[in-house]
Amino acid sequence: MKDIKQHTAPGLAAASGPYWPDWRTVCTSVIGRGHLKFYGECQDAFRCNVAELVDPRTLSNGRPPQPMVVTISDGLGSAANSAAGSALAAAIAQAATEEAFAGTDWAVAQPWQLTSALHGALESTVAQLRAAVAAVTASTRHQWQHSSFNATLLIVVFRPPWLLTANVGDGFVVAQRDDGQLLMVAPPYVSGSDASATVTALQWSALARAQVSCLYDPALSGFAASTDGLKDISLDWQGRIPETPHHDFFAPLLERIAAGTLTGTQITQFLHDDRIGAHADDDLTLVAVARATSEGDR
């Protein structure tokens, strides 16, 4: 697998960890306008463990040790069981990733250790996904092909000041720093020869072509993760290469989340808006996290 390690000068994370109620999260998936005519269902899927992180029953002195884990999957529209494939991929990846990092000592963690854990989670996910699809195809009357469950996979592990990503396909992750700077942490896969081609979790080359990154940055103030539905309108492109996050898309978005003035319902409405839908026919998924800047609903 391809490693992209991005980290700052050495420093120690607080041993007690982040106080998760100080971070606000919005998550949503909506069916794209172009899919309404043909599929009738959203073929994106996501999982996020933020609810259990802020549940008072799981807090230990207000400082939970576990990281935030987000998994996002986009079923291929041409695949017969793409919605089922993305749901399986997201669910399996969520469980495998939480398990892989369950014993991590974040106070002394090194980049290679975290990257190794993420590699392990990804390898476990792919193996379990292949086994699950094989079981489904064997137990039904239909002679489904494995490829009919094809889906991309994006895994994000966030425990400030660490942000780790594993990307199989054309999803992407953008991070923001305290000074407002936006970083392209995980770019979407772009084929040099076929604009419509991507990597999927069920391809035999999935692990070899996965992009894994490890970012250490004490100034991290938030991130946003998405499927490819938003890449054309939220990233700045140079020809066919996505170079940087589009400031006017992400900066106001993360600012409103941090201020507590943007909810998951409003994000769903935003993604249905003509300003988005007119330029994005594909299904749209957005998971965004920002450090709170006001008392709000903390």
Domain positions in the chain: 2-291
Task: Give the DSSP letter of residue 67.
Answer: P
H/E stretch holding 84: helix 82-100
Spatial contact of 285 and 72, defined as CB atoms under 8 Å apart = yes
- Asked, as a colleague might, if the bond just before 161 is cis with ω within 30 of 0, I would say yes
Q: With contact defined as beta carbons under 8 Å apart, do 267 and 28 qualify?
A: yes
Structure confidence at residue 12 (pLDDT):
35
Q: How many residues does the chain have?
A: 298
Sheet holding 211-216, edge to edge: 2-7, 211-216, 162-168, 153-159, 68-74, 44-48
User: Coil, helix or strand for 71?
Assistant: strand
Neighbours of 91 (CB within 10 A): 19
Half-sphere exposure of 14 (CA within 13 A, CB side): 10
pLDDT digits (tens, 9 = 90+) for 239-270: 888 989 999 999 999 999 999 998 888 888 88
Q: Are 231 and 174 in contact (CB under 8 A)?
A: no
What whole-number distance in Å separates Cα of residue 188 and Cα of residue 227?
9
- Residues 213 and 225 sit within 8 Å (Cβ to Cβ): no
Q: What pLDDT, on a 0 to 100 scale, did the predictor assign at position 211?
A: 95
Low-confidence stretches of the chain (pLDDT < 70) are 1-16, 32-40, 58-65, 77-79, 141-143, 192-196, 274, 277-281, 294-298
- Please provide residue 228's backbone torsions phi and psi, each rounded to the nearest 5 degrees: -70, -10
Strands 220-226 and 2-7: unpaired
- pLDDT of res. 34: 62
What is the pLDDT at residue 139?
79
Judge contact between 161 and 222, C-beta under 8 A: no
What pLDDT, on the 0 to 100 scale, is given for residue 280?
A: 62
3-state secondary structure 163-218: EEEEEECCCEEEEEECCCCEEEEECCCCCCCCCCCCCCCCCCCHHHHCEEEEEECC
> Which pLDDT tens digit goes with each residue over 105-128?
999 999 999 999 999 999 999 999
Instruction: Say if domain 2-291 classifies as CATH 3.60.40.10.
Output: yes
